[in-house]
A and B are shown apart, each in its own frame.
Chain A
Amino acid sequence: MSTLEFNPKQQAIEYADNSPVAIIKLALENFDNIAISFSGAEDVVLIDMATKIKSDVSVFSLDTGRLHAETYRFIEQVREHYKIKIDVLSPDTESVQNMVREKGLYSFYKDGHKECCGIRKVIPLRRKLTTLNAWITGQRKDQSPDTRNAVPVVERDGAFSTPENELIKFNPLSNWSSADVWEYIRSNNVPFNALHQQGFISIGCEPCTRAVLPNQHERAGRWWWEEATQKECGLHEGNLKK
């Protein structure tokens, strides 16, 4: 099926309450040119589920150059465990060098993480996604402390679609909680990143990720120094000063 024939809005309604496996099946049956985005964390469950449907499923990871050693080892472990190829994407050398030369290695603590994430993650991701018709992510509703954010199980990707390439994004874990994911990992003996044993829930780059305390939201472990400015552009009533 081509992207033009696939109706993500309709499928999002039909599959809203379906299991992650059913959503992955929908994705793999409808798109040949599709890949799983693997962050090196608990989204490994996507690979476990997908390889049971299609053993040679395409997977890619963004290597920002700043990941923990544990994450690199884990990506390698996953590659060997599932006998799959993982396309590890690197950022553009010149862009990284220019940023570091101008602002140093830790500019994100002063200027916010978006410039660095833009160069190390978004540009390589954008390039990769121009080569695909669809991608599968581990995005979940409960990852965001802002519960207003809707994460449909399938959607037209508004951020990365281009006039030439309409991209479809599948979020099979959207309705799962972190507890659901870990229940799956334990029940199915899925390998996991060793950082999780050290109190890390959400795992990103080493300088921008920290372990969290019991009952803290997982996002408390990411970019903790800039939370205050995150939502100031929202147009919800909830943003209004009471």
Chain B
Amino acid sequence: MKITFVKKIKADGNPCRKCAEVQSRLEKEGYIDKIDQTVIADERDMNSEGMQLAKQYSVNQAPFFIVENEGKETMIYTVYFKFINDVLNGQTSEEDAAKDILDTNDLDFL
């Protein structure tokens, strides 16, 4: 299994808010070693590898994870807790999962 973590760098050179949060959680929760490579989607460069991957997989929000398994369909995860639960068999609190859902979905109609 190969896991790629794609995070966005904004025009000012800083990571986007959610990318910084997910990076911090990966480190704090001890999952960072499970990431095989980290790729940057640079807002200043549409040809950056992360931007190209976003385009290739039709992903419109950072961060996201690409999970490749030989002989299986490549899976894309845009919601952190789902990635942790489904791929790394980890656990996240209900509060963190709820926040992840809100960060990656438009639920303003509720």
A contact set with B: CB distance below 8 Å: 37, 39, 43, 62, 92, 95, 114-115, 117-119, 121-123, 125-126, 137-140, 143-144, 148-149, 158-160, 163, 202, 204, 219, 222, 229, 232-237, 239-241
Contact = CB atoms under 8 A, between A and B. Distances in A.
Given A237-B46, A241-B43, A121 B110 contact: yes
Nearest to B61: A233
Closest 9 CB pairs of A and B: A118-B98, A122-B98, A139-B109, A235-B54, A233-B16, A241-B11, A159-B105, A114-B102, A118-B99
A43 B63 CA distance: 32
B17 A37 contact: no
A195 B46 CA distance: 45
Contacts of A232: 10, 16-17
Contacts of B46: 237, 240
Interface residues of B, number: 35
A241 B44 contact: yes
A140 B106 CA distance: 11
A138 B51 CA distance: 33
Interface in B73-87: 79, 86
22 contacts: A39-B109, A62-B110, A114-B99, A117-B98, A117-B102, A118-B101, A118-B102, A119-B95, A121-B110, A122-B99, A122-B102, A126-B94, A139-B109, A143-B109, A144-B108, A159-B79, A204-B110, A233-B17, A233-B63, A233-B103, A239-B43, A241-B44
A123 B98 contact: yes
Interface of B: 8, 10-11, 16-19, 41, 43-44, 46, 51, 54, 59-63, 79, 86, 94-95, 97-99, 101-110
